[in-house]
Amino acid sequence: MRLLLVEDEPDLGAAIKKTLTQEAYTVDWAQTGTEAWEYLQTPETAYDLAILDWLLPGISGLEICQKLRQQNNPLPILILTAKDTEADKVRGLDAGADDYLVKPFGMAELLARLRALQRRIPQFQPQEFRVGCLILDSATHRVSIASGNSVELLNKEFQLLEYFMRHPSQIIPRDRLLSQLWEWGAEPGSNVVAAQIRLLRRKLEKLGAKDAIETVYGVGYRLNLDKLSS
């Protein structure tokens, strides 16, 4: 899941980003409203969730929220702010925010609120993905095959396999994997995709799903349904 975090306080932003990354979110962190708006208007970064601080240099989090809603963008938004009066909360929610968290807050509460937002989007409810004989459990990050063996995936392996299983048999360009599953700006080069695919393939091989992820030379990768017949 790709998340945009907009927070201008460096320590807080870094702490939130670290927590979210540990929870397998792919996080782009913008420190000004202007930067955040650019990220949001970049077609390569389709965000699943946004955390917006209210008071920001440039455009405020509240204005970003309003502008997105004017564009009929349904992106789930959590507003963070030290503004804690009832009137402020009403303003935030009326601007189109889905939830509102007052600073200071604990990371456990932030994560719980994000999970609550995700529950409202059917697409992101913890679920089992099934493609051919492969079953991926998004709550436990375990992948299994119909015959019963299973293996736990690390965050990036899980994100990759989830992406492939959401787009079965499509050829997925390496650049798209990089832009969807890796952070913007911190792009470590194309080798990192190949390296993670190798790790994922090794785990799938252990389950007996050899060649499940096919390389389409010069283009990208594909989840090969022929290799996954149950």
- Residues lying near Ca ion in the complex (CB under 5 A): 8, 53, 55
Least spacing, CB of residue 61 vs Ca ion, in Å: 8
C-alpha 86: how far from its chain's center? Answer: 31
Please say which residue, 55 or 192, places its beta carbon nearer to Ca ion.
Answer: 55
- Contacts of residue 183, Cβ cutoff 8 Å, sequence gap at least 6: 26, 27, 28, 29
Nearer to Ca ion among residue 61 and residue 132 (C-beta): 61
CB 172, min distance to Ca ion, A: 37
- Cα–Cα distance for residue pair 99/181, rounded to 1 Å: 25
Whether 76 and 11 have beta carbons less than 8 Å apart is answered as: no
Closest distance of CB 9 from Ca ion, Å: 6
CB-nearer residue toward Ca ion: 33 or 132:
33
Supply the minimum distance, in Å, between the C-beta of residue 7 and Ca ion: 7
Cα distances from 14 to residues 39, 75, 108, 142, 145, in angstroms, run: 18, 23, 16, 29, 38
Q: How far is the CB of 58 from Ca ion (least distance, A)?
A: 11
| Sign of the torsion formed by the C-alpha atoms of 165, 169, 174 and 175 | negative
Which of 68, 10, 17, 18 has the alpha carbon at shortest distance from 39?
A: 68
Residue keyed to tokens 């787009």: 167
Question: Quick one: 56 or 193, whose CB is closer to Ca ion?
Answer: 56
Please compute, for residue 230, the number of CA atoms within 13 A of its CA located in the half-sphere on the CB side. Answer: 11
- Nearest residue by C-beta to Ca ion? 55
> Do 208 and 149 touch, CB atoms closer than 8 A?
yes
Q: Which one, 8 or 157, has the nearer CB to Ca ion?
A: 8
* Beta carbon nearer to Ca ion, 14 or 146: 14
Smallest distance, Ca ion to C-beta of residue 103, A: 9
